[in-house]
Amino acid sequence: MKFSKKFTFGAAISTIQTEGLGITNRGLTTFDKYYSEHPEKFFNNDGPDITVDITRHYEEDIKKWAELKLESIRFGFSWSRLFPDGDNLDYDAVAYYKDFLVKLKQNNIEAFMTLFHFDMPLWAHELGGWSSRIVIDKFVKFAKFVFEEYHTLVAKFVTFNEPLVPIMGGYLYDGHYPGIVDFKEAISQFYGLTLAHAKTTELFYSLNIKDSEIGIVFDWNITIPKNEDENNLYAAKVHDAFTNRGPLNILVKGKIDDFLIKILKDEKVLPDVQEGDLKIIEETKIDFLGINYYFPKRVEFDHTSNSKYTLFKIKPYLPSDARMNVHRGWEIYPESLYLIGQYIKEEFNNIPWYIAENGMGVENETRFKDKNGLIEDDYRIEFYTEHLESLSKTIQEGSNCFGYHVWSAIDCWSFRNGFKNRYGLIGVDIETQERYFKKSSWWFRDLILEKNGK
């Protein structure tokens, strides 16, 4: 595999998964609410209040990332920390994020910063979430402050991370708050989020910021039908329209997918469109696209489903010969990175893009410690290598990929899974908050050094 010196290697984390309540005042989020109501739904009853306490440890963590020669880090700004009640700014939080970014810059690490990574403020949810025009306007106000305050320290701003996940988890499946099934409300929430994304990017360009770029990070589970059966092909087409192609077209190009709209119209779940909305959405533009990739989505038509909604007539399928991460239960299919790169080249005008998350979660990882206490995670090194080879191939064939971030920069709290599966480039002892390197840490460092000819 081959990567140019301009190609950036780094890692990603989020605020809600690493900060906990932290050293500054933070307003409650929907995950705080979810945990308070149903702690039994969280692995080991671990909630979002502690995590890895990065607000107290970020200087140490940044030094460790620098020791590994990381060239970029994606972190973020917590909306509920900067504006705990939605209106009033917390100046301690402003200073904390400023110092975090300054420390990254001092260590020659570029900052990629996300505005929203699953951390909906509770007050915003109570106003209706993304279905509320008040919430959308307050999000744009939050973004305006962030752009003006931090643009000189941030290389790339990200509006949303995995925009579909909290909506599908919250309104189609019991994975995020409020954990209900309401298909029409799910569509309304995504429509509002689309509008928030469009207004935020419009604001960014209106500020004429020259030292930063703006984009979005999307989770792409490439869709593979079980076979060539007509019903299974249709199931894959529908799944792709709802979870990949349809949302990407809107968020990247402002283009509404006709096939998706027909389904929503036939099933009477079209969102409430106000005058001027479509013009804003259709003028959406971004500088780059981030892709989170972990596993493909193999699907088949569900002949047993009685649902009136097409999306619920699709079920997952796994072939008997699928390669699995036995520690996590996800399929390993690195070929997807090549396919994604070629699709972006052909369908999205070869927009600059990067892998924003790619990694391997493993339960009880400490069992792989050697006699000196080093976790020998050769399984993770193999995972990275195979995916990077696929990524390198798509770049050699003309796809405009500029970087690769592993998930995650440090072991972190994974929503309802808590600390069950560890992904970190740096490990954490949750009891003591001690940080430590793994075998894959040094492998990744050597990869970066080799790329730079050192």
- Evaluate whether residue 164 is within a structural domain: yes
Residue 37 reports pLDDT greater than 90: yes
pLDDT tens by residue, 240-274 = 999 999 999 999 999 989 999 999 999 999 999 99
pLDDT tens by residue, 211-222 = 999 999 999 999
Which residues, in sequence order, are bridge partners of residue 12?
A: 74, 407
Per-residue confidence (pLDDT) for residue 42, from 0 to 100: 92
pLDDT tens by residue, 321-364 = 999 998 778 999 999 999 999 999 999 999 999 999 999 999 99
- Evaluate whether residue 64 is within a structural domain: yes
Which domain, by its residues, includes 115? Answer: 8-451
Dist. CA 335–CA 323, nearest whole Å? 12
Per-residue confidence (pLDDT) for residue 175, from 0 to 100: 87
Per-residue confidence (pLDDT) for residue 416, from 0 to 100: 87
Least confident window among 174-183, 345-354, 391-400, 403-412: 174-183
- From the candidates 19, 185, 357, 365, give the one annotated as an active-site residue: 357
- pLDDT, mean over the chain: 96
Residue 174: pLDDT band (50, 70, 90) is confident
Concatenate the DSSP letters of all residues of 339-394 into one string. Answer: HHHHHHHHHSTT--EEEEE----EETGGGGB-TTS-B--HHHHHHHHHHHHHHHHH
- Evaluate whether residue 3 is within a structural domain: no
Q: What is the CB neighbour count within 10 angstroms for residue 420?
A: 17
- Evaluate whether residue 326 is within a structural domain: yes
Mean pLDDT of the 46-67 span: 96
Q: Is 389 a catalytic residue?
A: no
* Contact partners, residue 258, CB within 8 Å, separation at least 6: none
Q: What is the CB neighbour count within 10 angstroms for residue 256?
A: 14
Is the Cβ–Cβ distance between 252 and 348 less than 8 Å? yes
Q: Is 149 a catalytic residue?
A: no
**H-state helical runs in 83-178:** 91-106, 122-126, 133-150, 164-171
Per-residue confidence (pLDDT) for residue 327, from 0 to 100: 77
Mean pLDDT of the 149-171 span: 98
The CATH number of whichever domain residue 332 belongs to comes to 3.20.20.80
Per-residue confidence (pLDDT) for residue 315, from 0 to 100: 95
- Evaluate whether residue 1 is within a structural domain: no
Number of compact structural domains in the chain: 1
pLDDT tens by residue, 284-316 = 999 999 999 999 999 999 999 999 899 999 999
- From the candidates 162, 185, 331, 365, give the one annotated as an active-site residue: 162
DSSP 273: P
Dist. CA 179–CA 173, nearest whole Å? 6
In the three-class reduction of DSSP (H, G, I as helix; E, B as strand; rest coil), residue 117 is classed as coil
Phi first, then psi, for residue 280 (nearest 5°) are -65, -45
- Evaluate whether residue 2 is within a structural domain: no
Mean pLDDT of the 417-426 span: 94
pTM over 0.95: yes
Is there a cis peptide before residue 178, judged by omega within 30 degrees of 0? Answer: yes
Residue 25 reports pLDDT greater than 90: yes
> In which element (H, E) is residue 56 found?
helix 54-67
pLDDT tens by residue, 68-102 = 999 999 999 999 999 999 999 999 999 999 999 99
